[in-house]
Amino acid sequence: MLTFEEEIHKALEVLNLPPLITKADIKRQYHHEAKKHHPDIGGDALKMEEISRAYKFLMSYIDNFRYTFNHEEINRVFPELGHNDKFKL
C-alpha cells in the first residue's frame, strides 16, 4: 500500500505533471489527457479510469488543503515582503 505522499506523486505521474503546479494546471492537463485517452475516441477505458482517479485524488487534496496565513508562512511564500519589513522605521 502506498503512503499518501506516494499516492500524490503517482497521481502527478499519471497526469504527466511536475510537483509545482496550480489547480488550473491540473484541470488543463486532465482535459488534455482525457482527450487523448477517452474510450469514446478510441482510447483505453482503463487508462481513462486511471486518469480520472488521479485527477479526483489531486483535486480532493487541493480542496481539503489547510492554509496558514501566519507571518512566517507569508514570508516564506513572499520573501520580498519580509525583506521590506526589515527596513521599516
Q: Classify residue 28 by its DSSP letter.
A: H
Per-residue pLDDT for 80 more than 80? yes
Q: Residue ranges per domain, the chain? A: 29-89
| CA gap 69, 67 in Å, rounded | 7
Helix-, strand-, coil-residue percentages of the chain, each rounded to 5: 70, 0, 30
Q: 43-57 pLDDT, tens per residue? A: 999 999 999 999 999
pLDDT of residue 77: 84
Per-residue pLDDT for 68 more than 70? yes
Per-residue pLDDT for 87 more than 70? no
Percent with pLDDT over 90 in the chain: 73
> What number is the average pLDDT over the span 16-34?
97
Q: What's the pTM?
A: 0.76
